[in-house]
Amino acid sequence: YCTTGDIRGMLLLLQSKWEKGTAAKRIPAALDYLENSRYRDYETTFFYLSDQSADVDTILQKILEKEVRKQKGLVCKG
């Protein structure tokens, strides 16, 4: 996320890095939801992306918080 500055860019970058395994299936599903769904919300996008582990969910929550701060014009924390 820090490299691309947005969630869509992050997903595209992840997709180019992971070509095998379960992540390679989750990333396109998340990207498809973000681009083509009716709601295009980040929470559901991250549900598709997550493997439901605590570590991944913590990272995704931090990314979501950064995106909300960016959209609301709030100062980003670390």
Mean pLDDT across 35-53 = 96
Residues 47-73 have pLDDT tens digits of 999 999 999 999 999 999 999 888 888
Share of the chain above pLDDT 70, in %: 94
Q: What is the 3-state secondary structure (H, E, C) of 29-58?
A: HHHHHHHHCCCCCHHHHHHHHCCCCHHHHH
